[in-house]
Structure 1
Amino acid sequence: MKLRVGDYMTKNVITLSPDNTVDEAIELIQKTGHDGFPVVDDSGKVIGYISSRDLLKKDPNTKIGDIMSKQLYVAREYMDLRDAARVMFRTGHSKLPVVDDDGRLLGIISNADVIRSQIERADPGKVEKLKKTIEKVHGVNIEVERGKVEVDRLIPTQTKVFADELKGRIYELRRGLAEPIVVIKKGGRLYLVDGHHRVVAAKKIGVKTLDAYILKVPENVELGIERLVKKRGIKSIRDIEIIEDVPHPLVEITFRNTRR
């Protein structure tokens, strides 16, 4: 399954209008930490892009519409993510607005999103491998669907998450990123297989539902994770412990290596 721009783009995009001023744009950069913004008209159509470089040595009262870049590279949500990455690499752009057929803004894809797509993601290949494993072990056919699941209904299959990793997941959720979790559905129960940090992050900031790959398992199949959950007494997300004083193992390994 190919990775699409729409799966990794940021949907909650901060924009400017052509009537905003340079001073307002600088204030927005200071507030958000972003280095540029799409410029949209009243209908939501992208008409330009303003970067921090465009603002250098400009009068604070200058209108954004007078200095914005008007010739833009844009992406579509159905594009292969690798194609969007090639465009960014070859043109030197770190971000591409994502637009619909009428040029209205749907999101923005950045080089950071491309990197993120290669790490810590619910790879469709991982889902397919899990599906085939369950089918082989239990001799059943498993249906996989993509949909929304309620955070409060999820039964976790691990008991700990790391606080430093959790901060990253909260940041991603607030940006509107759409990385799915992996869930096994059996009867009325939803077992969380992949995405524990994202689910705990969602719970912390009040996100009620998450996008998920849902593997539908027949009711008569007894899964190993069910026995594990019962043995550990796990019933809900509230049973997950947040490890505050120990860094994520990858962070610890990197830190140690740099000291050699």
Structure 2
Amino acid sequence: MRLKVKDYMTKDVVVVKPDQTIKEVIDLIEKTGHDGFPVIDDNGIVIGYISSRDLLRKNLDTKVKDVMSKKLIVAREHMDLRDAARVMFRTGRSKLPVIDEKGKLIGIISNTDVIRSQIERADPKKVENLRKTIESVHNVKTELKRGKIEVDRIIPTQTKVYADELRGRVYELKKGLAEPVIVIKKGGKYYLVDGHHRVVAAKKIGIDKLDAYIIEVPENVELGLEKLVRKKGIKSVRDIQVLEDATHPLVEITFKNSK
């Protein structure tokens, strides 16, 4: 299963209009931290792109339409993510607007998204394999969704995480690089399959919701995860212990290989 642009693009895109001023764009850069924005018309059609470089030595009252780049390089949602990465690398672009067949903006893909796709352990292929395994073992049909889930509603299935790995996950979340968690939804409960460090990191820095792959199973299915949770008395992320003096096994392997 090849990764597509739609799997990693941002759908909630910050945009500007052609009649806005340079001053407004600068204010938007300061507010969002972005270095550029798609320019759309009243119908949502992409008509240009304005970057921080376009703002240099320009009068603050200058209109976006007078300095924006009209020579657009765009992506489509079903485009192979690697092809989009090649385009960005060869053209020096850090972002590509994603458009539909009518030229309407539906998302944006960035080099950060490409990096995230390479460090993710919870990629679409892994999730699909897990879903098929659940269906095979329990002889049921499941439904796979992608969406936001409240951290406080997540029920962990392990009780310990490593402090060093946790620091890395905090950094990734702050930079927008962390991959989605994987949960199994049964009734109104969400059992965490993958992403315990991410969940603890989110709770630590005050993030209320996380991106997640959600595998929904019928309520009559008795999951092994449920038995484990009941046995260990796990109810929420607060029941996870952070191991301060222990090192994550992956770090130990790295240290050993570097000697």
> Which residue number corresponds to residue 31 of structure 2?
31
Match of 1:212 in 2: 213
Structure 1 moving runs of 4+ over 6 Å: 245-248, 250-253
Shift of 1:220: 5.8
Structure 2 residue 127 is matched with structure 1 residue 127: yes
- Deviations for 1:213-241, whole angstroms, at most 9, x for unmatched residues? 41637846551x33432333211234345
Query: 1:206 offset after TM fit, Å?
Result: 3.7
Contact 1:170–1:198 (8 Å) recurs in 2:
no
Q: Pick closer, same or farther for the CA change 1:94–1:12 going to 2, 3 Å.
A: same
Counterparts of 1:223-238 in structure 2, within 5 Å, are 223=224, 225-238=225-238
Give 1:94 deviation, angstroms.
1.3
In structure 2, the partner of 1:95 is: 95
> Equivalent residue of 2:170, what SS?
helix
Distance 1:40 1:247 in 2: 51
What displacement does 1:39 show?
1.3
Indicate if the aligned counterparts of 2:142 and 2:218 stay in contact, CA closer than 8 A.
no
Three-state SS of the structure 1 residue aligned to 2:77 is coil
Task: Determine which of 158, 170, 173 is the counterpart of 1:169.
Answer: 173
Structure 1 residues 67, 246: CA separation in 2 closer, same or farther (over 3 Å shift)? farther
- What residue identity is the alignment partner of 1:115? I
Question: Letter of the aligned partner of 2:91 in structure 1?
Answer: T
Deviation at residue 49 of structure 1 after TM alignment: 0.6
Taking only aligned residues, the RMSD between alpha carbons, in angstroms, comes to: 3.7
The answer to whether structure 1 residue 182 and structure 2 residue 182 are counterparts is yes
Shift of 1:141: 3.0
1:145 to 131, 143, 146: 143
TM-score by length of 1: 0.76
Which residue does 1:195 correspond to in 2?
195
Change (3 A) 1:39 1:185: closer
Within 5 Å, give how 1:43-54 maps onto structure 2: 43-54=43-54
1:180–1:213 contact (8 Å) kept in structure 2? no
Q: Distance in 2 between matches of 1:188 and 1:35?
A: 40
Q: Deviations over 1:60-105 (max 9, x none)?
A: 2221110110010111222221221122122221110112222222
Q: Deviations over 1:119-149 (max 9, x none)?
A: 124123323444566578xx54353422257
Unmatched segments (≥5 aa) in structure 2: none
- For 1:61, the equivalent position in structure 2 comes to 61
**Aligned counterpart, 1:154:** 154
* Structure 2 CA distance for aligned equivalents of residues 156 and 97 of structure 1: 37
Counterpart amino acid of residue 170 in structure 2: L
Contact 2:138 2:221 in 1 (8 A): no
The percentage of counterpart residues that share the same residue type is 57
Query: How far is the alpha carbon of 1:6 from its aligned partner?
Result: 1.6
Stretches of structure 1 lacking an aligned partner (at least 5 in a row): none
Q: Is the 8 A contact 1:169 1:197 kept in 2?
A: no
Is the Cα contact below 8 Å between 1:182 and 1:212 reproduced in 2?
yes
Q: Residues 142-177 of structure 1, C-alpha deviation per residue, up to 9 Å, x if partnerless?
A: 53422257535432113355255135336539xxx9
